[in-house]
Amino acid sequence: MRLEAVELRRVRLPFHVPFRSALAETSVREVVLVRVVTDAGEGWGECAALSHPDYTSEYVDGAAAVLRSHLVPLLARAGPPSATGVAPALAGIRGHRMAKAALEMAVLDAELRAEGRSLAARLGATRTWVEAGVAVGIPTSVAELLDDVGAALDEGYRRVKLKIAPGWDVEPVRAVRERFGDGVLLQADANGAYRLDDAAALAALDPFHLALLEQPLPPGDLVGHAELGRRVRTPVCLDESVTSADSAATAVALGAASVVNVKPGRVGGYLEAVRVHDVCRAAGVGVWCGGMFESGLARSANLALAALPGFTLPGDVSPPSRYLAADLVAPPVARDGRLAVPDRPGIGADVDAGALRRATVSVERVALAP
């Protein structure tokens, strides 16, 4: 397979409800798409980076810049592209895992389309459907929270993840559990908002039988997570702390995680995500597939990952139509909280030309090294 061109495309997809991050509120999901053109066909990748560097150090403008100036030229100089060769070709650039993942995804899509093979088959999926959960943000009141959770359950979802933060934890979790009972699989996600000194406050969540407590402490505090795991009964799940199979192995060895949230962009791509899965499965640590407000393009690919045998909990793989008012592909459809795993060649979704045109802000073709 010969690389003939690489295109970077900026798109904007409107949210149903504005998204509030630590730095800003936005009504659109900005995305960098990568399109690779080879002599065997094309492939698409989607960068998971958000508009601002508050979830991780990566952000949309930075991802576009490193792809343009460093990652694409390196890949072009490495010779005929292959999915397994992307990570080694880009290894000289530190970090920028989400940008690397987008480029790998595009090459993987092109390669699999040329082979007539699905991503699910390539990754080793063992199921034809996966169960999805939904995440509920921090609303303005407990009453609004109960309405949001009730709406999700009415749609057929059986797992609900509640965002928590100091001052918004025990009471909202208690209210949800009392209203909807123990039959609902509940998770709590802190996005690193607590410190080990808050262990008593987090232990106060134990009576509510949560499936897991996601990323309670800052990402770098693996030792703190291990100690917290000894102070609470709720299983501790790591998200932002795990950026590779090596970091997953370290976290497991320290006893810092009972569960791991795997996000392909955060760990550098789908092939590394499989390695994270393998490390955790071998250690008896459960994994599940997280989400980054993807379009249907990446969300379809995430379904293939979530169908691997070690993914034992419902993932954040619900249809993008829950949060996006427009999409780039025909989105996956949930039935009773379950979604079919795409079995078509490539990553499982075809870009709609009209939707792409309407969402596009800019397009640039990156110069390849001679």
Active site residues: 163, 263
**Regarding beta strands 134-136 and 159-163, do their DSSP bridges make them parallel or antiparallel, or are they unpaired?**
parallel
Question: Cα–Cα distance between 317 and 327 in angstroms, integer?
Answer: 15
236-238, strands of its sheet edge to edge: 134-136, 159-163, 185-189, 212-214, 236-238, 259-262, 286-289
Q: Answer for the pair 260, 237: CB distance below 8 angstroms, yes or no.
A: yes
Sign (positive/negative) of CA torsion 95, 274, 352, 365? positive
Count of beta carbons in the 10 Å neighbourhood of residue 148: 17
Which residues are CB-contacts of 364 (< 8 A; sequence separation ≥ 6)? Answer: 7, 8, 9, 68
Sign (positive/negative) of CA torsion 146, 148, 153, 158? negative
What residues pair up with 360 in beta bridges, in sequence order?
11
Q: CA 176 → CA 106, 146, 236, distances in Å?
A: 41, 6, 20
What token pair was written down for 248? Answer: 């997953």
Furthest-apart CA pair in the chain: how many Å?
65
